[in-house]
Homo-oligomer: A and B are copies of this chain.
Amino acid sequence: MTDFNLDAFLPYQLAVLSARVSAGFSRHYRKAYGISVAEWRVVAHLSRGDAVSVREIHERVDMDKPKVSRAASRLEEAGYITKTVNETDRRLVELKLTDKGRAMIDALAPIAKAYEQELVGALGGDDGPFRDQVRRLGEALKPRQTD
């Protein structure tokens, strides 16, 4: 009889860890700004400053197009970003932070850094090897087959 120990199963451990980490951080912006994880990702990506298309975010952040599109719509409705049609290519929609959105990211960025430092502390202070392995695993799984 198979006795499978879920607790020791790496995919499960990672899922639980990731959910806790995300929940721990999202509590910092969920209440204060009313945005979700998906919306946070879009805003964070826009913090670089230049206008970005939906497709670009879809490729850089790992979210599918509809998810980005809806997150952007919610952010626009909340006044954090603007959506304007690119006049040289009217298929593209340019997303851009408003002043309100900029203020939000300015407030959240240090909180994010601090939260990350908490995590690093929990790791024992040296996060280098851990991050390397996270990145290595992510790379190994990036494409799409194995089936």
Tell whether, in the assembled complex, residue A41 and residue B6 are in contact, meaning their CB atoms are under 8 Å apart: yes
Select which of B4, B22, B37, B138 is within 8 A of A20 by beta carbon. B138
Q: A133 to B134, alpha carbons, bound, how many Å? A: 11
Interface status of A123 (Cβ within 8 A of chain B)? yes
- Chain B hits for A24, CB < 8 A: 11, 141, 146
Could you say which residues of chain B place their CB within 8 Å of the CB of A61? Answer: 6
Number of interface residues of A (CB under 8 A): 63
A66 in the interface (beta carbon within 8 A): no
- Check if B127 sits within 8 Å of A10, measured CB to CB: yes
- Asked whether A142 is an interface residue with its Cβ less than 8 Å from the other chain, the reply is yes
Tell whether A123 pairs with B136 under 8 Å between CB atoms, given A106-B2, A112-B9: yes
